[in-house]
Amino acid sequence: MIKPRYNELSVMHGSVVFLRVMQEVAAPLLSELGVRSYPTFIAGSKSGGAVFSETTRFSGADGAALDSMAADLASSSAPAPAPAPVSAFAGAGRSMTSAASGSAAVTPGPAAARPETDMLPNIKALLEMGFDGRDASAALARAGSVEGALDLLSDGFEHADPGLVTTEAPAAAGGEEDGASFEERKAAMLATLARRREEKAAEDKAAELARVKQQREGRARSQEAEAARKELQRKLDHAKQQKEAVDADKRRKKARQDVLQDKVDRARAAGKEDRVAALEAELEAMKGEGARPAADARSWEKRQDEAMAALERGPADKKVRALAMVRAICANAMDPAKGGAEGGEKFRRLQASNKAFQRNIGVNPGARSLLQASGWGAVMDEDAVAAGKRGIGAHAAYEFGHEPFTLETAARLAQRFLDATGGAATA
């Protein structure tokens, strides 16, 4: 092979500048020089800024001819630094296919000035890494270093000038030392490219994480807004259901009152005065059930009197049982031995589910009115209210001093009732 011999001669003759031109990146230049086959060796000289002048050329892998050409150039440049470069075009019998173009000018000089780290090996390495030849040569020419060229190519750089190709060495080839081998340069560029790709991958990952986070936060905000909307709709629906339940309860109560009034009218027409009195008491108690008079309405004392009068007009057995139980309840709440009106909750709260209460008071509207008019406020069952129940059906318990009463008002009403029905201990 001729290439190893060419490299040896470049070391042996330090006064001669040796250059290799790759047809992959400088085909127009080779065409201009009339190169038709590979390898082709051209010798010439350049002095004082003059144009390169060809003196000798031959084609083919002829080692003896190459030795003779190099020796002639070295001898002609031995007395003084004179223009005696050798320009070599190496290949493997391939035809020219690249569209790049450029200058093959060579500047002679001492061995220390030889561009042994010229750009062509770097371009070849970039080609092997998958970059386009024209883009690679243009990026190297613009950046002046391998690392800079990799930065440009990694960012999608494309050549702007199809003729931008040069064989001059960059000022600093990516920080590489003079004399670095092709494999060392290639390894350094691959390492730089790998680092750039890792940095790009890290940036892409960070951007993706930020995007995912933004999407997650957006979904969370949307879910919160939807939850708030549903909660508002639920409250509106609940308020609507409550209103509908209240209206339905009023209609049912009015219907029951109309039925009871009809019974009163028929009993009066039949001359059944006892029956009329009982029905009227029941009707009056039904009309007053659950009402909470305002401050300017009739007093609780008057309501208590009306409830007792209604019980008097009703069946005697029901009246006796109701009065006895209301008295017992109020007496326990007011008994000093049991804590009096300031005593514990045990004697100041009565569950609506209590069987004795249901039997003697719960089924008797007049008795319920009397109990409430004696200081016992109804405690509503929230679940029952939410289900649409009203009136006694929504009462969970009765508590002494519960709203609309104060404990003081409840104690006064209870004592008044006890005094009116035979007296009891006073708190």
Confidence band for 244, pLDDT divided at 50, 70 and 90: confident
Question: 370 pLDDT exceeds 80?
Answer: yes
For 43, list phi and psi in degrees, rounded to 5: -115, 150
Domain termination residue (choose one: 65, 88, 111): 111
* pLDDT value for 423: 56
> Are 102 and 151 found together in one domain?
no
* pLDDT value for 142: 74
Report if residue 267 sits inside a domain. no
> In whole angstroms, what separates CA 17 from the centre of its chain?
65
- For 222-239, the pLDDT digits (tens) are 999 999 999 999 889 888
Q: Is the pTM of this model over 0.75?
A: no
358 neighbors 342 (Cβ within 8 angstroms)? no
- Average pLDDT on 300-320 reads 87
* pLDDT value for 344: 53
Could you tell me the end-to-end alpha-carbon distance of the chain, in angstroms, rounded to an integer? Answer: 128
> Residue 85 and residue 105: Cα distance in Å, rounded?
10
Tokens representing 239 are 């308020």
Range of the domain at 85: 1-111
* pLDDT value for 221: 93
Question: 340 pLDDT exceeds 60?
Answer: no
> Residue 18 and residue 146: Cα distance in Å, rounded?
22
> Are 187 and 71 found together in one domain?
no
- For 379-415, the pLDDT digits (tens) are 887 777 777 777 777 788 898 888 788 888 888 888 8
> Residue 64 and residue 67: Cα distance in Å, rounded?
5
Average pLDDT, rounded, for the chain: 74
> Residue 314 and residue 291: Cα distance in Å, rounded?
21
- Average pLDDT on 317-324 reads 90
246 neighbors 253 (Cβ within 8 angstroms)? no
Question: 212 pLDDT exceeds 90?
Answer: yes
- Average pLDDT on 204-219 reads 94
Cα dihedral sign for 251, 255, 257, 258? positive
> Are 68 and 138 found together in one domain?
no
How many residues would you count in the chain? 427
> Residue 292 and residue 303: Cα distance in Å, rounded?
10
Count of CB atoms situated within 10 Å of the CB of 192: 18
% residues pLDDT > 90 (the chain):
11
> Are 288 and 373 found together in one domain?
yes
Q: Which residue has the tokens 């009809």?
A: 262
> Are 119 and 230 found together in one domain?
yes
174 neighbors 139 (Cβ within 8 angstroms)? no
Tokens representing 314 are 């009703």
* pLDDT value for 229: 93
Q: Which one has a higher pLDDT value, 263 or 115?
A: 263
- For 88-129, the pLDDT digits (tens) are 444 443 333 333 333 333 333 333 333 333 456 666 667 767
21 neighbors 102 (Cβ within 8 angstroms)? no
* pLDDT value for 107: 35
Nearest residue to 1 via CA among 116, 92, 94: 92
* pLDDT value for 96: 35
The secondary structure element, H or E, covering residue 19 is strand 18-20
> Are 276 and 416 found together in one domain?
yes
> Are 96 and 125 found together in one domain?
no
Domain termination residue (choose one: 111, 134, 151): 111
285 neighbors 307 (Cβ within 8 angstroms)? yes
> Are 415 and 298 found together in one domain?
yes
Confidence band for 186, pLDDT divided at 50, 70 and 90: low
Confidence band for 326, pLDDT divided at 50, 70 and 90: very high
Report if residue 143 sits inside a domain. yes
Task: Please give the torsion angle defined by the CA atoms of residues 417, 418, 422 and 426, in that order, rounded to the nearest 10 degrees.
Answer: -150
> Are 276 and 415 found together in one domain?
yes
Q: Is the peptide bond before 162 cis (omega within 30 degrees of 0)?
A: no
- For 169-179, the pLDDT digits (tens) are 333 334 444 45
> Are 169 and 222 found together in one domain?
yes
Question: 160 pLDDT exceeds 70?
Answer: no
> Residue 127 and residue 272: Cα distance in Å, rounded?
121
Report if residue 264 sits inside a domain. no
Contacts of 347-350 with CB under 8 Å at 24 or more apart are 347/400, 348/399, 348/400, 348/401, 349/379, 349/397, 349/398, 349/399, 349/400, 350/376, 350/397, 350/398, 350/399
> Are 367 and 290 found together in one domain?
yes
* pLDDT value for 184: 75
